[in-house]
Structures are given as structure tokens and as C-alpha cells.
């Protein structure tokens, strides 16, 4: 076991938020179908990814004796479970509008159940695979925290995105920044191998590129308004220039950051900005009032 970090020790509390989809436009980033579908990929894929991470950290809990880390892992699990259900609720809305998400969800669910979780392992093989799952979870959480910080900083979204959707993605992004350390610290406590961390970091980078490209292409092909739209490449370039979606370079530059031997998630993003948003988020405030 390696060191457990004491910096930025905060209480991680799940917020039982609620969102309504009744009045949500199909292209809730106004006039930007491709930018909307890139965001939709997040709604479609995150529930399965978060289910996988919840299971990995739940399986690791019996191995963790550090009280502070255990408390943070329990808070992380609670937050991720709510994230998963909050995004899943949008799937029916997307299906009703012709954006069939079943093929994406089905394949990801199979990967989580049969590859990531790998039931039936015992002894050393079970522990070794748990270390792999924790390392991959830490790498994926790095990118969700990067995306969370980007969403908090992207002022161009303020007037372009439906207010309810904007609150959803910024609430989620803020909580990703809030619990950015937890999966990494859990991995370092249980295993801590740099080689495993580096290898799974590269794997996570490639996996996310493939999933987002495949998911966006699928949703775009099923968009009922596609024939009336501009060429998707022009839409994408325009959305990046407007600051409505991050550029690919934004994530490519994060690969060497994560691969540094002295890397720790507390070095990135702004915890203060995340907590300030959570203090004013309409959904988070409504959850607190209940």
C-alpha cells in the first residue's frame, strides 16, 4: 500500500437531484445538433461507466482501513449512483425523439457485466483484476474531472444551452471535480503500481475516443432532422470555435499529465469553483431543501 493523501479533505455528500424533461428541445444546445449529440453521448454512456466504477470501489471497500478514505469512497459511490440514474432518465426522452440509444447501452452493458466485472474470478486472479478495475476507474475519473472543469469554465454555454440541461451538466461536472481524488486514492491504497496506472491511463484515453466517436455517429445518423442540417464536420468545427464543445487537443494534452509519476488529481481543476457552483445549482439546492 502507498500513501493516502490528506489534502483537500472534504465530506462528499450525495445530492438527490431531480430533473424534468417535458419541455426539453431535441437540440438543447440551440441550433447545434452535433454539439447536442456529443453531450448526449455522455448521457447515454455514463450510467454504465459509473455502474462499473461503483462496483469496483464497492468491492475495494473491505480492503480499505483508512477511515477518511473509506468515508470518501462511500460518498463517491452515493454520488455516482445518483449520476447514473439522472442520466438514465433521459434515455426514454431520446428514444421518443427517434434517437435509439438501445444499441449503445446494450453493448456497454455487456462490456461492464462480462469484461469489466468478470464474475467467477477467485483468489489472486480476483484481486489482480480488482486492481485493474480500480486503475481504469481512476483513469476514467481523471477525464470526467477534466470535462467537469471544462463545463464549469465554458461561459459560451450560458446562453446557448437549455437552462435545465445546463444545470444538469454543471451539477454533474462540479461533483466530478469535488470527488476527483477518490478513485485515484483508492487505487493507490489497494495497489499503487505506476506501470498499471500508466497502462490503464492510455487504455482509458483510447476507449473514450472510440466510444464518443461511435456514439456521436450513431445519434447523428438517427437524428430526424439530419437531412436539413449542415455537414457534420462543419458543425463540429463551428461548435469548437464557439466554445460549445471542447477540442480534441484539450484531452490529448491530459494524457502526459496523467502519466506523470508525481501526478495527483488535487493538482488539477478548481475545487472552490465546483463547490461554489453546487451552492447555487437549482437542482442541488432543491435537493438540499427536501
Is-contact 58 76, C-beta < 8 A? no
Main-chain dihedrals φ then ψ at residue 29, nearest 5 degrees: -95, 105
Q: What is the mean pLDDT of each run of 10 residues along the chain (290 residues)?
A: 55 89 90 94 90 95 95 95 86 87 92 88 94 97 95 96 95 95 97 96 93 92 86 92 90 92 92 95 83
Main-chain dihedrals φ then ψ at residue 158, nearest 5 degrees: -55, -45
20 grid coordinates: 424534468
Confidence at residue 248, expressed as pLDDT on a 0 to 100 scale: 82
Residue 243 CA: distances (Å) to CA of 83, 90, 100, 146: 24, 24, 27, 15
Q: What is the pTM of this model?
A: 0.92
Q: Is 178 exposed, middle or buried (0-12, 13-18, 19+ CB in 10 A)?
A: buried
Which residue from 117, 112, 42, 113 is spatially nearest to 83, judged by alpha carbons? Answer: 42
172 grid coordinates: 454533474
In degrees to the nearest 10, what's the CA dihedral of 100, 176, 242, 28? 40
Is the CA virtual torsion 14, 136, 58, 60 positive or negative? negative
Q: 105-155, pLDDT tens digit by residue? A: 999 999 999 889 888 889 999 999 999 999 999 999 999 999 999 999 999
Confidence at residue 2, expressed as pLDDT on a 0 to 100 scale: 45
233 grid coordinates: 464536420
Distance between CA 184 and CA 266 in Å, rounded? 10
Other residues' Cβ atoms within 10 Å of the Cβ of residue 69: 21
Amino acid at each position: 500500500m502507498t500513501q493516502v493523501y490528506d489534502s483537500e479533505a472534504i465530506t462528499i455528500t450525495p445530492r438527490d437531484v431531480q430533473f424534468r424533461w417535458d419541455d426539453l428541445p431535441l437540440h438543447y444546445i440551440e441550433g447545434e445538433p452535433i454539439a447536442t449529440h456529443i453531450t448526449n453521448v455522455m448521457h447515454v454512456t455514463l450510467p454504465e461507466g459509473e455502474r462499473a466504477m461503483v462496483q469496483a470501489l464497492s468491492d475495494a471497500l473491505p480492503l480499505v482501513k483508512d477511515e477518511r478514505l473509506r468515508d470518501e469512497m462511500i460518498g463517491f459511490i452515493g454520488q455516482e449512483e445518483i449520476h447514473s440514474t439522472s442520466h438514465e432518465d433521459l434515455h426514454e426522452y431520446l428514444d421518443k425523439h427517434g434517437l435509439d440509444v438501445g444499441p449503445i447501452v446494450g453493448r456497454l452493458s455487456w462490456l461492464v457485466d462480462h469484461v469489466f466485472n468478470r464474475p467467477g474470478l477467485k483468489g489472486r486472479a480476483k484481486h489482480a483484476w480488482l486492481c485493474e478495475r480500480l486503475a481504469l476507474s481512476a483513469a476514467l475519473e481523471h477525464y470526467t474531472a477534466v470535462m467537469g472543469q471544462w463545463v464549469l469554465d465554458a461561459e459560451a454555454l450560458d446562453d446557448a444551452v437549455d437552462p435545465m440541461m445546463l444545470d444538469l451538466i454543471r451539477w454533474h461536472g462540479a461533483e466530478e471535480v469535488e470527488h476527483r481524488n477518490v478513485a485515484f486514492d483508492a487505487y493507490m491504497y489497494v495497489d499503487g503500481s505506476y506501470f498499471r496506472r500508466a497502462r490503464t491511463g492510455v487504455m482509458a484515453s483510447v476507449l473514450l475516443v472510440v466510444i464518443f466517436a461511435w456514439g456521436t455517429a450513431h445519434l447523428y445518423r438517427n437524428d430526424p432532422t439530419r437531412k436539413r442540417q449542415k455537414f457534420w464536420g462543419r458543425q463540429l468545427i463551428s461548435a469548437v470555435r464557439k466554445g460549445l464543445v471542447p477540442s480534441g487537443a484539450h484531452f490529448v494534452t491530459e494524457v502526459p499529465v496523467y502519466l506523470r509519476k508525481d501526478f495527483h488529481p488535487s493538482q488539477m481543476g478548481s475545487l472552490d469553483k465546483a463547490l461554489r457552483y453546487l451552492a447555487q445549482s437549482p437542482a442541488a439546492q432543491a435537493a438540499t431543501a427536501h
